[in-house]
Amino acid sequence: MEPEIYHKTAQSEESHWWFVGRRRIINDILKGLVLPENAPILDVGCGTGGNLALLARYGRVYGMELDATAREYARGRQVGPILPGRLPDDIPFEGQLFNLLVLTDVLEHVDRDDLSLRHLSDRIQSGGYLLLTVPAFQGLWSRHDDLHQHRRRYNRGRLAAILVDAGFEVLLLSYLNTWLFPVIATVRLCNKFLGKAGVDDLAMPPPALNQVLASIFASEGKILKLMRLPFGVSLMALARKKCKVF
């Protein structure tokens, strides 16, 4: 991505409703995992580091990030070591196995998402976890996808298939940002039909609206304990590496 995207992300990810709501949902998921004390956790494609402080509540955090600009932002948070790396197979911290790997909106950037998951599986302890989010539904493709150099958007079937093929047991697979989906989908489809570029997804709404949107989005974390959401702007998966049988 262009450096300007990382500058915008670094400025907005602490308070923008999308990032705030997603972190709260991730926290709800992580609270339900049984991780060892000081569990090694790798944030794959950590970007400017918006999730590092959250992950540090659950273990020793490491970061992997391809872009030099983003790495500097992430290192500035002084949460854990941040090294360069690239999927599918240039994964740093050689020899280190992790209890948890986290990829938030990363997999859609790589050409070989299937091969990437196989290589990531090799870096997870037997019985360890993979938590990831990706954008959902190819029909929602927008200027945001172009600016962020996405390769694809996902549906449940595609994501489940490549996870299972990589040796994971899928524990949770649900769409996210469901409550706001009708509004977002309508705006994006209208912009596409009218040939308009659309509004930058990182633009900050007025403070009061931003707080309301964050609360609406974050509330879905509680719902996931009871049911899976049938549609949404994003897709989340929690998977566990299958234990070896001797």
Strand pairing category for 234-241 and 168-176 = antiparallel
Chain-centroid distance, C-alpha 47: 10
CATH of domain 3-241: 3.40.50.150
Percentage of the chain beyond pLDDT 90 is 82
pLDDT mean across residues, the chain = 93
Q: Which residues contact 76 (CB under 8 A, 6 or more apart)?
A: 49
Specify the pTM.
0.93
pLDDT in tens, 189-201: 776 666 655 556 6
Cα separation, 238 vs 30, whole angstroms: 10
The pLDDT of residue 82 is above 70: yes
- Secondary structure class of 97 (helix, strand, coil): coil
Task: Please give the average per-residue pLDDT across 142-166, as a whole number.
Answer: 94
> What are the DSSP E strand ranges found in the chain?
39-44, 59-64, 82-83, 98-104, 124-135, 168-176, 234-241
Cα separation, 14 vs 176, whole angstroms: 20
pLDDT of residue 203: 82
Q: Confidence class of residue 144 from pLDDT cuts 50, 70 and 90?
A: confident
Name the nearest CA neighbour of 100 among 173, 167, 176, 33.
Answer: 33
- Secondary structure class of 184 (helix, strand, coil): helix
Beta bridge partners of 168: 241
Name the nearest CA neighbour of 103 among 34, 35, 157, 154.
Answer: 154
Cα separation, 63 vs 120, whole angstroms: 14
The pLDDT of residue 246 is above 60: no
Q: Confidence class of residue 55 from pLDDT cuts 50, 70 and 90?
A: very high
pLDDT in tens, 165-184: 999 999 999 999 999 999 88
- Secondary structure class of 176 (helix, strand, coil): strand
- Residue given tokens 């719902």 in the structure block: 223
- Secondary structure class of 222 (helix, strand, coil): helix
Q: Confidence class of residue 235 from pLDDT cuts 50, 70 and 90?
A: very high
DSSP type of residue 138: G
Q: Where are the domains of the chain?
A: 3-241
Radius of gyration, alpha carbons of the chain = 17
